Amino acid sequence: MRSFVPTAPATDEPIIDPDRFGEPDPGMGKLTEEVVAGLPAYVQPWVGAGIAVVVAFVLTWVGAAVVNRVLRRRPLLRDDIKRARWPLFLLLSCVGTLGSFAVTAPVADWRGSADFLLLATMIAAFAWLVTVLLHLVESILLSKYRSEQSVDARHMAKLRTQVSLLRRVVVAAVLVLAVAGILLLIPEVRALGAGILASAGLISVIAGMAVQSTLSNVFAGLQLAFTDALRVDDTVLVEGSRGNVEEITLTYVVVKLIDDTRMILPSTYFTTTPFRNFSRGTDDVSGGIEIELTWKAPVDLLRKRLEETVAADQAWDGRDASLAVSDAKGGLMTVFIWLTARNAGDLWNLQNSVREELLRTLQQQHPDALPEPVIRGGGA
């Protein structure tokens, strides 16, 4: 291997073949040239690579420290910046190492394999960095709108859904382009590309049939996000279970049920199957409770106790709380309680607390108002 620093008098022959490798990197190449000039030829490439890695490390961590200092009052954004350090460090290391190799080992036999690995790693690191930066942009947008008091919860949920889905679409495109870029570094793959393009019609038909279900879910996810049919944090009733939408991805929707389990449904479920959305249009909801009692039940006392219970419960929104006898037959009457709340979660809690309080009042003061089987069961 020829040493970078010639021992013979200078000639007109260039040290680096510009037709193959291009001009040396003016920054890293000059630094590498000055440091490794007196070293043996076989050591120079690795010392140059080490210098590139050290410089990349210093630049990355100094830059991260400066940004963290600026964003010291925004911890969420600082976390995103922290995640960007490693892909940036990897990208700068690959760029610097390529420049140092062009200076210290321009005609080495192992340059082909080394360049391929470095370029592939550089593309992967760039895709990784773009993914992290997209998450940072999402956090900046959402934090900006959160700070504005004029933005209501419904608009915020819609914005979160759309921004998150757009980020996922762009990330998917970046990953596909990164994989394609790495494959195109292989000469055999580039040669194969012409044959693939020639038969693109047949391949597109086959690929379309193979991924038909996946594409359907992708378009269904986009439809849900941009038609405002479903948003993150919406309260829905699906498959007979109530829950809150926790996440909307390109292909599926995650619903957190009231028992803290997750129901994962394909996006096409919400575009092809009817479902109840308690948060559509407004978060205010209402619902009723039915209790079967004997004809001896003190309706006026229950109505007064209902008023006291909802007045002390923060889940009640103050719009309506009424009690009426909706049916009476067979020795029993049905007491119906109508309640309102700010959202479905508060309504659920309010219904449970009202039901418990009314039954507790009857058990303690008027046990004869409860149906006979309940009395015998309680005394057993």
Please state the φ and ψ torsions of residue 257, each to the nearest 5 degrees.
Answer: -80, 170
Please state the φ and ψ torsions of residue 22, each to the nearest 5 degrees.
Answer: 75, -175
Residue 262: strand, helix, or coil: strand
Q: What is the mean pLDDT of residues 270-290?
A: 77
Say yes or no to pLDDT of 210 above 80.
Answer: no
CA angle 143, 149, 155 (to 5 degrees): 70
Q: What is the mean pLDDT of residues 214-238?
A: 74
CA 138 to CA 136: how far, in whole Å? 5
Place of tokens 């004869």: 368
pTM of the prediction? 0.50
Say yes or no to pLDDT of 356 above 90.
Answer: yes
**What band does 126 get if pLDDT is binned at 50, 70 and 90?**
very high
Question: What is the percentage of the chain residues whose pLDDT exceeds 90?
Answer: 13
Q: Which of 112-116, 204-208, 292-296, 376-380 has the lowest mean pLDDT?
A: 376-380
Q: Which residues 6+ apart lie within 8 Å of 169 measured at CB?
A: 222, 250
Say yes or no to pLDDT of 115 above 80.
Answer: yes
How far is Cα of residue 137 from the mean position of the Cα atoms in its chain? 13
CA 276 to CA 246: how far, in whole Å? 16
Say yes or no to pLDDT of 184 above 60.
Answer: yes
Q: Which of 86-100, 124-138, 273-287, 291-305 has the lowest mean pLDDT?
A: 273-287
Q: Which of 11-25, 70-84, 115-129, 354-368 has the lowest mean pLDDT?
A: 11-25
Q: Which of 19-33, 184-198, 217-231 has the lowest mean pLDDT?
A: 19-33
Say yes or no to pLDDT of 46 above 60.
Answer: yes
